[in-house]
Amino acid sequence: MSNTGMNMRGKITFYEEKNFQGRSYECMNDCSDMTSNLSRCQSCRVESGCFMVYDRNNYMGNQYFMRRGEYSDCMSMMGMRENIKSCRMIPMHRGQFRMKIYEKENFGGQSHEMMEDCDNVMDRYRMNECQSCNVMDGHWLMYEQPQFRGKMMYMRPGEYRNFRDMGMSGQRFMSMRRITDSC
């Protein structure tokens, strides 16, 4: 059984303007709609923990991983085209990591169980792509390109029959990385 430390909270502060200026909003959990707190968000400080931020409400759209640090200009530092619209705190996980990846949607095609990072699905497993997965333990980031590059998607424990339901239409993933407690 996995041990997810829910008592270990993260903290992120969002600012309306670049360089930590303007109105601010402090967040210590998930927020599906940032516009209810700020008119826009262009910089932030992660004081503790790890977060995923999204450029659309309800945890949709492009996703960006943020760990402890200062982000004085989110638009240019992370290549964002839109302001941050929602965020999700990533719980600290201690224990093993396990994810089964599938070549096709609905758990079809070739499959492989992973417990470590994979920098290239094609090289390691001879899979052309990953279109569905089952995250059994831990929290993971999946990337559209090998070597942990390109668009990313946060995966928490659960079954993911296809990635379209998460706003990732036509997306294929070629590398995966565990989110460890080093945030």
Tell me how far apart the alpha carbons of residues 179 and 50 are, in angstroms, rounded to a whole number. Answer: 9
Quick check: 77 and 42 in contact, CB under 8 A?
A: no
Strand, helix or coil for residue 36: helix
Instruction: Compute the distance between CA of residue 53 and CA of residue 171 in angstroms, rounded to an integer.
Output: 18
Cβ contacts of residue 9 below 8 Å, gap of 6+? 28, 29, 48, 49, 89
pTM passes above 0.75: yes
Weakly modelled stretches of the chain, pLDDT under 70: 1-8, 79, 166-170, 181-183
Where do we find the tokens 């990072």?
A: 117
Give pLDDT tens digits for 58-91.
998 889 999 999 999 987 777 677 789 999 999 9
What are the structural domains, with CATH classification, of the chain? 11-90 (2.60.20.10), 98-178 (2.60.20.10)
The pLDDT score that the predictor gives to residue 142 is 94
Q: Specify the pLDDT at position 17.
A: 93
146 and 155 Cβ atoms separated by less than 8 Å: no
Quick one: pLDDT at residue 6? 42
Residue 123 to residues 22, 174, 175, Cα–Cα distance (Å): 47, 10, 10
